[in-house]
Structure formats: C-alpha cells, structure tokens
C-alpha cells in the first residue's frame, strides 16, 4: 500500500459509487435536519430516495452567490447563513467549530475538529510527502483557510510543518536554508519567486525536492521549469467551502477525485449533468457532516476524463481547472467577484463614476489587475483613493485607469481575464 494513501483509492469503481450513494441519503437527511438553509432549500425532498446520480441531479444547485447572500442576511444570528451544522455559542444551530475563516465576499467558512478536516492528506501523499518530512507551508494562515487546510493534512500524514505564510521572501528563504525542508506547499507563483530569489542571492534550498501547489493555474511550462531546478511539483484542486476536490498523481494525467466528495459536471447556469468529456461547471456534494453542502456549484469549469488513472487509482478524473463558469476569477490565490467591483463603485458613488471593468493580465507568477473606470470629471486624488478601496475590498493591488464616459463596452462584463493558461 506504499504507493497509495489507503485502500479506498484502488477499490472497484462500482464499489465506490455504491458506497458513496449508500451514504448520500443520510447526508441529505442530516443537511435537512441540521442546517436551516437546507431545511428550506430541500423542503419536500425525500432524502431516502436520493440514492443515485439521477436523483441527485434533481436537487437544486447551490451557488456561491446564494451562500453569500444568505450569510449577509443572517450575519447576526448565523455567520454561515444556515449552511453549517456547527457553530459556537449564540451562533448557528450547534457548537463545534474549531476555527472560522473569511474568504473574499466576505464568505465565512467553519473548520470542524475532525482529524484532517479538509481531507488534504491524500493530496499531500500523492505529491510525494511522507511521515517525518518537514514541509514549508507558504499558504496564508490568517483570514483565509488555505494554511490550516494544508497544515492539518500534513499533520494527519505525520509531517512537521514550518508555518511560512505569505510574503517575507527573504525570511522564508532564510528558514529554508537553515531548516532544510523536504518540500514546499503553496502557490506555484510564489515558489517560482523563491527559487529565482535563491538563485540571485546564492541561498541553498537544494533540500527542496517536491511541492504541492494550488490557488493558481499550474501550466506544464511552469511544472517543467520547476523540474529543471530539481523540484517535482504536483497540484491539487480545493476550495474553502469543500476542502479537497481532486489531486494530481505521478501519472500527471488529469486530477483524481477525492474519496470524500461526489462530483458532477453540469451545463453552466443549470443543474443538468453533461456527458463525460464535455466541459461544464464542477458541482460538488460533500460527505462532511459539519458543513454538509449538497450540490454546491463551484463556478469552475472542467470535464471528466475517460478511463482510469495510470497510477492505479480508480476514482474518476477531471481535466483540471479550465476557467470560470461565471466572471469570478482567481488572482494570486484569491477569488475576485463582480460583487467586489460593484462594492468599489458603491463606495465612490459621490465621484460620479460610470461603468467599470477589472482586467486581469500577466503570467501566473505575476498577475496584474487594472481597474478601468469611466468618470466625466475626476476629482483630485481619485485614482489613489480607488486603488486603496480595491486593496481593502479584494486584498489585492490594482492599477487604476480613468476612462471617458461611454468608452467601455456596454456588454455587461465586469471582470475580464486576459491571462493565458497554456
């Protein structure tokens, strides 16, 4: 079993499907009974009848925007908008939350007390990490859950973790040279920056031979660039709401679905499953009892790959991240929503702004945001104030370009992603 995290990864596909759908009715019933949101959204649904994919496909898709709106409406009573079965005293239907995180929106996510709550150990194992390794974790440890997601998975695997967090390149390089970690976990863009800085300064980070990356696209060109410098990088696909969804193996042929989720690919804007191979939105049902999201639309595009993974794992595979089903995009590991652009404009409504478009450009290790805003007569210092507001709302920097009225296209697009992922 040394090649696999556990026996679940190599069970017969029919056995996996039967086991997941045998567990699904109880999960649906638990969501109905334990969370106010699903009590309403799944009212009248016979949970005992949700025993196959056809029955699951008849349930409504819950998208991030709806989750956000419910959270906003219930902030004082339930920070999770009625979707979580855990909370804390005075918040939500029960207790048991270990940590609470905030993603852009803002959307709040709970972390329960279960071992490897986000199920990341499986992806970390597939990336080559083993018990006793020291992992340099450069995901954020504050506000967003990525740092904790990876750390709890690493601990479940038996690894030690250096809590690097984001930024502070020089200090992180110093830690790498002195602690000699076996591998890195973080965004691929920051890993590239660290390696380039090490080459520039002569820092010895040769102990770093493997990496699990996420939060950004990981094109083959960057994967090969890392390999040329002695680092074998693998990627995983996870969200703050769902935890691990899929992970890359040594076969490097798509991403294998996690054992704790049921994944559908649906036609964007609907809940209708598409045939295998067709690109559509990734919709996930998690078997996590603490946060029992049923048919949660990720907004991400992907497709099911044919056949089993050459690594021997038998779960279905997806092609990986192929873009967004809506205009929400990911910049430097953070989601940016159209609603955030609207919030920037709302805060500056006294300045007489017109249309706005947020343009994302550059390489994955050097994402750049430009906010184009129509304005008839710009008050002094408007661009600087807008830049500050964008930073406050999105946690990211943007260049501001003031445009003449009616100069931006009247096509309803708020976020334009011009990056190439080839």
- Tell me: the pLDDT tens digits for 241-256? 999 999 999 999 999 9
Least confident of 6-15, 205-214, 242-251, 361-370: 361-370
pLDDT at site 364: 58
Assigned domain for 101 exists: no
pLDDT grade, residue 167 (50/70/90)? confident
Mean pLDDT of 299-321: 93
154, 115 Cβ separation under 8 angstroms: no
Q: Within a domain: residue 403?
A: yes
User: What's the pLDDT at 411?
Assistant: 53
Residue 47 belongs to a domain: no
Mean pLDDT of the chain: 92
Quick: pLDDT tens for 118-138: 999 999 999 999 999 999 999
Give the percent of the chain with pLDDT over 70: 97
- Whichever domain contains 335, its CATH number is 3.30.300.30
Span 51-79, average pLDDT = 94
Does 255 reside within a domain?
no
pLDDT value for 1? 44
Q: For 159-181, what is the mean pLDDT?
A: 96
For residue 222, is it within any domain?
no
Q: Which range marks the domain in which residue 404 is found?
A: 329-417
Residue 412 has pLDDT above 80, yes or no: no
- pLDDT (mean) for 253-269: 93
- Flag whether pLDDT at 367 surpasses 90: no
- pLDDT band at residue 28 using 50, 70 and 90 as cut-offs: very high
* pLDDT at residue number 422: 40
Q: How many domains does the chain have?
A: 1
User: What's the pTM?
Assistant: 0.79
The yes-or-no verdict on residue 392 having pLDDT over 60 is: yes
At residue 403 the predicted structure's pLDDT band, cuts being 50, 70 and 90, is very high
| Residue 339 resides in a domain | yes
Q: How far apart are CA 123 and CA 137, in angstroms?
A: 14
Inside any domain, residue 349:
yes
Does residue 48 have a pLDDT over 80? yes
pLDDT range class, residue 413, cuts 50, 70, 90: low
Mean pLDDT of 204-218: 95
Task: Give the whole-angstrom CA distance, residue 402 versus residue 386.
Answer: 10
- pLDDT tens digits, one per residue of 266-292: 887 778 898 898 888 899 999 999 999
pLDDT value at residue 323: 76
Can you tell me the mean pLDDT for 150-170?
96
Task: Give the pLDDT band (50/70/90) at residue 349.
Answer: confident
126 occurs within a structural domain: no
pLDDT of residue 260 exceeding 90:
yes
Cis ω on the peptide bond leading into residue 137 (within 30° of 0)?
Answer: no
More confident residue, 415 or 100: 100
The Cα 263–Cα 315 span in angstroms is 11
């Amino acid at each position: 079993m040394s090649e696999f995290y556990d026996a679940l990864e190599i069970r017969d596909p029919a056995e996996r499907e039967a086991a997941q759908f045998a567990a699904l009715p109880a999960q649906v019933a638990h969501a109905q009974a334990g969370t106010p949101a699903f009590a309403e959204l799944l009212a009248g649904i016979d949970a005992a009848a949700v025993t196959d994919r056809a029955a699951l496909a008849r349930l409504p898709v819950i998208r991030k925007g709806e989750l956000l709106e419910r959270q906003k409406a219930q902030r004082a009573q339930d920070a999770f908008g009625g979707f979580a079965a855990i909370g804390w005293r005075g918040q939500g239907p029960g207790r048991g939350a270990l940590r609470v995180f905030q993603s852009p929106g803002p959307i709040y996510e709970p972390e329960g007390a279960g071992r490897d709550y986000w199920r990341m150990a499986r992806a970390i194992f597939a990336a080559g990490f083993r018990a006793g390794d020291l992992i340099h974790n450069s995901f954020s440890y504050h506000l967003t859950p990525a740092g904790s997601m990876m750390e709890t998975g690493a601990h479940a695997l038996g690894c030690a973790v250096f809590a690097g967090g984001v930024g502070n390149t020089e200090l992180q390089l110093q830690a790498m040279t002195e602690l000699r970690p076996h591998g890195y976990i973080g965004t691929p863009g920051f890993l590239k920056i660290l390696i380039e800085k090490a080459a520039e300064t002569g820092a010895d980070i040769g102990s770093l031979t493997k990496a699990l990356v996420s939060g950004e696209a990981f094109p083959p060109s960057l994967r090969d660039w890392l390999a040329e410098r002695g680092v074998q990088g693998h990627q995983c696909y996870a969200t703050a709401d769902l935890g691990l969804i899929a992970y890359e193996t040594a076969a490097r042929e798509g991403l294998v679905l996690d054992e704790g989720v049921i994944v559908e690919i649906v036609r964007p804007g609907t809940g209708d499953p598409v045939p295998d191979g067709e690109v559509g939105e990734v919709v996930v049902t998690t078997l996590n009892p603490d946060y029992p999201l049923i048919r949660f639309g990720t907004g991400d595009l992907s497709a099911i790959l044919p056949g089993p993974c050459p690594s021997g794992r038998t779960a279905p595979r997806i092609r990986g991240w192929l873009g967004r089903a809506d205009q929400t995009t990911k910049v430097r590991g953070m989601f940016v929503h159209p609603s955030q652009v609207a919030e920037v404009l709302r805060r500056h409504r006294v300045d007489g702004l017109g249309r706005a478009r947020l343009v994302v450009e550059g390489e994955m290790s050097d994402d750049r945001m430009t906010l184009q805003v129509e304005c008839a007569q710009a008050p002094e210092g408007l661009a600087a104030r807008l830049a500050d507001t964008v930073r406050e709302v999105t946690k990211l920097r943007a260049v501001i370009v003031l445009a003449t009225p009616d100069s931006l296209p009247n096509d309803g697009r708020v976020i334009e992603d011009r990056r190439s992922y080839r």
